[in-house]
């Protein structure tokens, strides 16, 4: 804006109306040229910054969508895996369907109490749901215990009892290996999440297994 006014109040109102710069009379051509160059440079920088921010926002939104898709796929695969493993235990006559159901109900009951009474543990409805589903695998390690021990009608010997007790660690190893398999399956799906994000999700799946 070219003006002969030089009061601070006048300039303040001008900036409030969107004036970029003041040129006070009298002025020189070189000064005008320099001011115009500065305004153009600022405008170009602002435009480029807006374009960059827009691209980054779109990229983050796309990654967020893909993360949600991956989480849903992982959840579905985990449910299939849990159901399959719990069916193996049931079909081998190691646990009845009612027993597995009771364990699930007990796990949910205890988890709900912890969630309400001890919020510092950070237990959420989503985590509680996972605990309930995973409770079906509490005895999965028994599938690798020999039949002559696991199905023995009489009293177990001390050595046999030690073998029975090992089903907890064996079960943990089975679930851990299954978690790795699930992560690798997700990794092989085309168009999910390449690079660092996918590797981070894969590592999380293995750790939480």
- The residue range of the domain holding 85 is 55-207
Number of domains in the chain: 2
Which range, of 59-63, 65-69, 105-109, averages the lowest pLDDT?
65-69
Q: Is residue 157 part of a domain?
A: yes
Q: Is residue 203 part of a domain?
A: yes
29's CB contacts (< 8 A; 6+ apart) are none
| Pairing, β 2-3 against β 23-24 | parallel
Let me know whether 96 and 192 are in one domain.
Answer: yes
d(CA 86, CA 106): 17
Q: What is the CATH number of the domain that holds 122?
A: 1.10.3210.10
Let me know whether 118 and 23 are in one domain.
Answer: no
10 Å CB burial of residue 157 (0-12, 13-18, 19+) is: exposed
Q: Is residue 109 part of a domain?
A: yes
pLDDT digits (tens, 9 = 90+) for 32-42: 788 778 878 88
Q: What is the DSSP string of 149-172?
A: HHT--SPPPHHHHHHHHTHHHHHH
Let me know whether 68 and 121 are in one domain.
Answer: yes
Is the confidence at residue 77, as pLDDT, over 80?
no
pTM of the predicted structure, to 2 decimals:
0.47
Q: What are the Cα distances from residue 122, in Å, to 111, 114, 127?
A: 11, 9, 9
More reliable by pLDDT, 106 or 19: 106
């Amino acid at each position: 804006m070219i003006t002969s006014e030089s009061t601070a109040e006048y300039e303040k109102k001008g900036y409030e109306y969107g004036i970029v710069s003041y040129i006070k009379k009298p002025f020189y051509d070189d000064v005008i040229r320099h001011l115009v160059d500065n305004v153009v440079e600022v405008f170009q920088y602002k435009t480029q910054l807006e374009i960059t921010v827009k691209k980054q926002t779109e990229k983050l939104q796309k990654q967020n969508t893909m993360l949600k898709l991956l989480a849903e796929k992982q959840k579905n695969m985990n449910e299939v895996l849990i159901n399959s493993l719990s069916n193996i235990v049931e079909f081998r006559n190691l646990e009845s369907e009612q027993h597995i159901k009771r364990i699930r109900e007990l796990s949910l009951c205890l988890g709900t109490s912890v969630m309400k009474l001890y919020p510092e543990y950070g237990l959420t409805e989503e985590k509680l749901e996972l605990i309930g589903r995973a409770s079906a695998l509490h005895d999965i390690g028994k599938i690798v215990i020999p039949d002559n021990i696991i199905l023995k009608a009489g009293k177990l010997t001390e050595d046999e009892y030690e073998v029975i007790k090992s089903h907890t660690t064996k079960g943990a190893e089975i679930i851990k290996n299954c978690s790795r398999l699930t992560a690798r399956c997700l990794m092989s799906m085309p168009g999910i999440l390449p690079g660092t994000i996918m590797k981070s999700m894969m590592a999380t799946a293995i750790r939480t297994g």
